[in-house]
Structure 1
Amino acid sequence: MSDSATASPRITRPLPVLSQLGLGTATFGWLYEPVSAAQAAATVHRALELGITYLDTAPAYGLGAAESKTGAALHDVDPGQLVVSTKVGRVLEPLPATAAQNDAYPGAPQLHAVDAWTEDGIRRSLEDSLVRLGLDRVDIAYIHDPDNNEQDVYDTAFPALARLRDEGTVRAIGVGMNQSAMPTRFVERLDLDVVLLAGRYTLLEQGALDDLLPTCLTRGTRVVIGGPFNSGLLASPTESAHYDYGPAPRALLERAQAIRRVCAGHGVPITAAALQFPLGHPSVVSVLAGMRTPAEVEQNVAAFATEVPDALWDDLRAEGLLRPDAPPGKPV
């Protein structure tokens, strides 16, 4: 490990104020089904109308499609009314002439994502995102999924992003991943403002209680939870449900169905419990849910406002469906 991997002082900065329920835009990038630019704009506008003022996106979502649709939706919105985050670490390049055509979805751009962990790469990644978003800066930039590039984060990506923060191009910096172990090491050793943890602190799994969440609490690093439905399984635990972007394993499907039964016993939709659960931890400041229509926005806002009694969390623990040390969801 290089010297840059040793623990650095943590400077506590005010994080941009995030709505407790945020809008994730991976759905705008042809995740499972198409979303037109008009539909994406209607979804964003309805979210803002209902008080969702935090939007997260990334170049990798539909090879720029999600950022472009988000940017088009925001062209007539006062930037001061919302918080926008995107991700860095990859740039979009034209497919080589010898490569197979990209037919991931109709009209897919003939591009591919290329790792870009150097200072120039991080800067270009962010600059390209700003063009697609039509913004002159974003509030938060996350290093995106450096699972195979941990040393690059210490050596080049984090220092580059920290300089962008110092310059004011971004207000806060962090890392966004689908695991908790590596972000824990980053929080221990780097001056990060926030971590976006996707899918690893939900009603289905609470492993982040063993490493990332207590570390963030100690260091004063805030946490945003993505994937509160675990790719859909906790929204609708049916045979066709997804988990981590693939078919849900039988054991997890049965566990989600058992959670739904406990929720139903209290007259609470499973979506309400899933959205509210992560916010019970003192490090968690926002939960990002993917939404693709104004109707989904309305459903999630209603679920987020549903009263969830403490007895529901107690019953989940009693049935072994929630860790004993997991705090209850957001306060009523």
Structure 2
Amino acid sequence: MRRRRLGRSTVEITELAFGGAGIGNLHRPVSDEDAAAAVDAAWECGVRTFDTAPHYGLGLSEHRLGRALRSRPRDAYTLSTKAGRLLEPVPPGGDDLAQGFAVPATHRRVWDFSADGVLRSVEESLRRLGLDRIDIVYLHDPDDHGDDAFRYGYPALERLRAEGVVGAIGAGMNQTAMLTRFLRDTDADAVLCAGRHTLLDGSALAELLPEARARGRSVVVGGVFNSGLLADPRPGATYDYAPAPPDLIARAQRLQTVTERHGVPLRAAALRYSLAHPAVAGALVGVRSAHEIRDAAHRLRTPVPPALWADLRAEGLLPEPPRTSGATWVPGTFRDHEQRDHEEGESR
């Protein structure tokens, strides 16, 4: 599994990363045994980057991930978590505060991008993880809290980085505009962009990816399957955590028809597409079982012939950057990853 450095930091990630929302019981329960087996399978596949957040299952994901990683050499893997939501206990019998996670509503999430809130969040995450350090901290979904995030939360992360408490910092969101602002207005090492650089959504091509490339920063992409539609395009599939509209289902099915004509599963094409841009350091795939991470690792290694991308482009199925974006990468111009590593001097 290749490794790439995040921006100008010393932190490296594997090109395939383990997304911990699933083992936080996103949408449905996962047993402790299945969560541990998923982490074990990821390790066997060469995955050495693991991502979590307090938001995922009200801390359950952090507890489970820390437990599964604790016996492994700490310098052998990279761990990221997020700040911006504090967990506060609530009395039993309160409203359902799980927010899509199948967990007891024992806590409520409190938005807090103040300096103290970010420091407290990191401290509490370390306690839940039971580990000695966190390698990457992202400000988590500051969409409606931009002023506090830029004025207080981000400077707190800079202090943690300067003190050596964390190795790399940034922000993680489902939109591109504010992430682009983080690249322009701060010294963030990386941003985590979910669902906006996929075969169905090319909005990151307009500004975010060119900005990262120009500034020597890194983008970690999440949601490469758009929460399920690109994994299994059928009626009833989800797109961005909601029922997929018919026009997007039809488009995903057209994508699948072309990829399978070349003997390539749509999942493999979706994963390889998201990793192809030179600003992208890695792809984070949500995992809830050993089977899912093994499948992702297998799809990453699936050969994708250049003719597949040419056919997708000919049929108007590849996202196109706006003419005004100044983009230097055109969808469909895919280089072999080994060649990319050699050209850019990236570490593995």
| TM-score past 0.5 threshold | yes
SS of the residue corresponding to residue 118 of structure 2 reads helix
Q: Deviations over 1:259-291 (max 9, x none)?
A: 000100100000100111111111001001111
What is the aligned partner in structure 1 of residue 249 from structure 2?
253
How many positions carry a matched residue from both structures?
322
With over 3 angstroms needed to count, the CA separation of the structure-2 counterparts of 1:156 and 1:256, relative to structure 1, is same
1:17 aligns with 2:12: yes
Q: In 2, distance between residues paired with 1:174 and 1:101? A: 30
Alignment of 1:159-170 (within 5 A): 159-170=155-166
1:225 to partner: Cα distance: 0.3
Which region of structure 1 is more displaced relative to structure 2, 85-94 or 33-42? 33-42
How far has the Cα of 1:331 moved from its partner?
1.8
Corresponding position of 1:237: 233
Task: Return the alpha-carbon distance in structure 2 between the equivalents of residues 184 and 234 of structure 1.
Answer: 25
Distance in 2, matches of 1:233 and 1:71, equals 30
Matches within 5 A, 1:277-296: 277-296=273-292
CA distance, structure 2, for counterparts of residue 272 and residue 288 of structure 1: 14
CA contact (8 A) 1:180 1:200 kept: yes
Contact kept in structure 2, 1:209 and 1:326, CA below 8 Å: no
**Aligned residue in 1 for 2:308:** 312
> Could you tell me which residue of structure 2 aligns to residue 27 of structure 1?
22
Identity of aligned residues (%): 47
Quick check: 131-140 or 223-232, which moved more? Answer: 131-140
Name 1:44's counterpart in structure 2: 39
Secondary structure at the aligned position of 2:336 is classed as: coil
Partner of 2:179: 183
Could you tell me which of 164, 167, 171 is aligned with 1:171?
A: 167
| Structure 1 runs not aligned, ≥5 long | 1-10
TM-score (normalised: structure 1)? 0.93
Mapped to 1, the partners of 2:32 and 2:163 lie a distance apart of: 32
Q: Distance in 2 between matches of 1:207 and 1:183?
A: 12
Q: How does 1:208-223 map to 2 (within 5 A)?
A: 208-223=204-219
Alignment partner of 1:87: what SS?
Answer: strand
- Counterpart position of 1:56: 51
Query: How high is the TM-score relative to the length of structure 2?
Result: 0.89
Q: CA deviation at 1:323?
A: 2.9
On the 8 A contact 2:95/2:105 being kept in 1, the answer is no
> Deviation digits for residues 121-167 of structure 1, max 9, x if unmatched?
00011111111111121110000000001111221001001001111
- SS of residue in 2 equivalent to 1:203: coil
Aligned ranges 1:40-189 → 2 under 5 Å:
40-95=35-90, 99-100=94-95, 102=97, 108-189=104-185
Measure how far apart 1:111 and its partner are: 0.5
Measure how far apart 1:99 and its partner are: 4.2
Structure 2 CA distance for aligned equivalents of residues 242 and 96 of structure 1: 33
Gaps of 5+ in 2: 1-5, 321-329, 338-348
Structure-2 change in CA distance of 1:97 and 1:302 (3 Å): closer
Residues 28, 101 of structure 2: 8 Å contact kept: no
Aligned counterparts of 1:310 and 1:64: Cα–Cα separation in 2 = 43
1: CA distance between counterparts of 2:28 and 2:334? 31
Tell me how far 1:186 sits from its aligned partner. 1.3
Contact 1:276 1:329 in 2 (8 A): no
Once residues 303 and 330 of structure 1 are traced to their aligned partners in structure 2, the CA distance between those partners, rounded to angstroms, is 17
**Quick one: structure 1 residues 106 and 165, their matched pair in 2 at CA, closer, same or farther if it must change by over 3 Å?**
closer
Q: Distance in 1 between matches of 2:48 and 2:335?
A: 19
2:221 is aligned, of 225, 229, 241, to: 225
Distance in 1 between residues matched to 2:179 and 2:248, nearest whole Å:
25
SS in 1 for 2:14: coil
> Offset of 1:13 from its aligned partner?
2.5
